[in-house]
């Protein structure tokens, strides 16, 4: 039961209706017995309303705000402080209100690095050849995280100019999606395009013939839970990581920033299991 002292957190984006964040965070509050202290909601905030929303955040004193499409870059203009990593990535997905001082963070990169290091061990990304497919918002944080951990990253993208721009910024390699056969030489392949979901449900960015058992294949698409890319990878004996893991690991880091508490992985993951993850169009957390 909420009361006057309840700290409000929320996710803002547009669209927002299908966001899984309220479910993930509220399950955590309940598990830790702090659901009278914290409550997590959502609000549809388009990009041109972000400035007004931040004013309201200060006025009302919301404790934390998660940002999703299209607000991760826009919101940076209105914050008091931005953590060094979020600055380097160029996007904020988490805002913490500490007694009126709003500070922006980015936890998206951890959503990819943590599950990979769980398999490879700490430091295990060093010198690994990673093929990152896609050069959009998610790829930016992922490429940063991989580079930070010493991996050798090549960004493959449909629109070569976009891959080139991002690759030059982050000082990694780039290639056209038409050269995808080169992923044969990659230790890790990450799909960060919508191929495999929604209208692309039967598609994969990597033909099966280029996959093999020594690879780790990570699809950040989480609806459906197992995409065609992952089904193909499994059939070749590769190790797979599902998009839900990224969703949960980045969420656990946000949870820690909002509450100061660690939450077991299984609690947030369990909250997702109770929800039908079939999401129309290209919906994000």
Cβ nearer to ligand NAP, comparing 148 with 164: 164
User: Using a CB cutoff of 8 Å and minimum separation of 24, what contacts does 158-167 make?
Assistant: 158/193, 159/135, 162/135, 162/136, 163/135, 165/135, 166/135, 166/139, 166/140, 167/135, 167/143
- Rounded Cα gap, residues 6 and 102, in angstroms: 18
- Rounded Cα gap, residues 93 and 104, in angstroms: 7
Cβ nearer to ligand NAP, comparing 96 with 220: 220
Min CB(247)–ligand NAP separation in Å:
4
Q: Give 103's strand partners.
A: 81, 96
- Rounded Cα gap, residues 212 and 1, in angstroms: 51
Cβ nearer to ligand NAP, comparing 7 with 10: 10
SS3 state at 227? coil
Q: Which of 23, 49, 72, 256 is catalytic?
A: 72
Min CB(244)–ligand NAP separation in Å:
7
Which of 197, 217, 271, 272 forms a contact with ligand NAP (CB under 6 A)? 197
Q: Is residue 21 within a helix (H) or strand (E), and if so which, with residue range?
A: helix 21-32
Which of 111, 115, 145, 224 forms a contact with ligand NAP (CB under 6 A)? 111
Q: How many CB atoms lie within 10 A of CB 128?
A: 18
Distances (CA, A) of 151 to 59, 128, 161: 43, 5, 22
Q: Work out whether 135 is an interface residue with ligand NAP (CB under 6 A).
A: yes
Q: Work out whether 284 is an interface residue with ligand NAP (CB under 6 A).
A: yes
Cβ nearer to ligand NAP, comparing 64 with 111: 111
Taking CB under 6 A as the binding criterion, the range among 31-39, 73-81, 98-106, 241-249 that sits at the site for ligand NAP is 241-249
Taking CB under 6 A as the binding criterion, the range among 4-12, 168-176, 188-196, 255-263 that sits at the site for ligand NAP is 188-196
30 flagged as catalytic:
no
Q: What strands, in cross-sheet order, belong to the sheet with 101-105?
A: 38-44, 7-13, 64-67, 94-98, 101-105, 81-82
Which of 157, 227, 254, 259 forms a contact with ligand NAP (CB under 6 A)? 157
Alpha helices in 152-242 (DSSP H): 160-170, 228-235
Which of 137, 143, 215, 217 forms a contact with ligand NAP (CB under 6 A)? 137
Taking CB under 6 A as the binding criterion, the range among 26-34, 55-63, 168-176, 240-248 that sits at the site for ligand NAP is 240-248
Quote the DSSP letter at residue 174. Answer: E
Which of 243, 257, 259, 269 forms a contact with ligand NAP (CB under 6 A)? 243
Distances (CA, A) of 27 to 34, 77, 103, 252, 263: 10, 32, 25, 12, 10
Which of 159, 235, 262, 281 forms a contact with ligand NAP (CB under 6 A)? 159
Q: Work out whether 138 is an interface residue with ligand NAP (CB under 6 A).
A: yes
Cβ nearer to ligand NAP, comparing 28 with 111: 111
Q: Work out whether 281 is an interface residue with ligand NAP (CB under 6 A).
A: no
Q: Which residues in this chain contact ligand NAP in the complex, by CB under 6 A?
A: 69, 111, 134-139, 157-159, 162, 192-195, 197, 200, 220-222, 243, 246-247, 250, 282, 284-285
Known catalytic residues are: 72
């Amino acid at each position: 039961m909420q009361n006057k002292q309840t700290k409000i957190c929320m996710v803002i984006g547009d669209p927002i209706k299908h966001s899984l964040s309220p479910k993930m965070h509220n399950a955590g509050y309940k598990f830790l017995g702090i659901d009278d202290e914290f409550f997590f909601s959502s609000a549809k905030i388009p990009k041109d309303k972000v400035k007004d929303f931040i004013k309201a955040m200060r006025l009302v004193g919301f404790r934390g705000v998660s940002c999703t499409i299209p607000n991760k870059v826009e919101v940076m203009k209105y914050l008091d402080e931005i953590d060094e990593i979020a600055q380097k990535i160029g996007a904020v997905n988490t805002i913490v209100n500490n007694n009126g001082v709003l500070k922006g963070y980015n936890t998206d990169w951890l959503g990819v690095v943590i599950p990979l290091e769980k398999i490879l061990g700490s430091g295990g990304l060093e010198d690994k050849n990673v093929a990152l497919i896609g050069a959009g918002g998610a790829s930016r944080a992922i490429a940063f995280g991989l580079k930070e951990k010493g991996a050798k990253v090549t960004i493959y993208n449909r629109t070569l100019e976009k891959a080139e721009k991002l690759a030059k910024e982050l000082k990694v390699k780039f290639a056209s999606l038409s050269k995808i056969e080169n992923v044969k030489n990659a230790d890790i392949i990450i799909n960060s395009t919508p191929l495999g979901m929604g209208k692309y449900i039967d598609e994969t960015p990597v033909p099966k013939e280029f996959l093999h058992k020594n690879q780790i294949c990570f699809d950040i698409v989480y609806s459906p839970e197992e995409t065609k890319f992952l089904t193909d990878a499994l059939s070749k004996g590769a190790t797979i990581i599902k998009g839900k893991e990224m969703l949960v690991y980045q969420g656990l880091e946000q949870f820690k920033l909002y509450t100061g508490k660690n939450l077991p992985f299984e609690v947030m993951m369990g909250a997702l299991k109770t929800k039908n993850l079939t999401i129309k169009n290209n919906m994000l957390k």
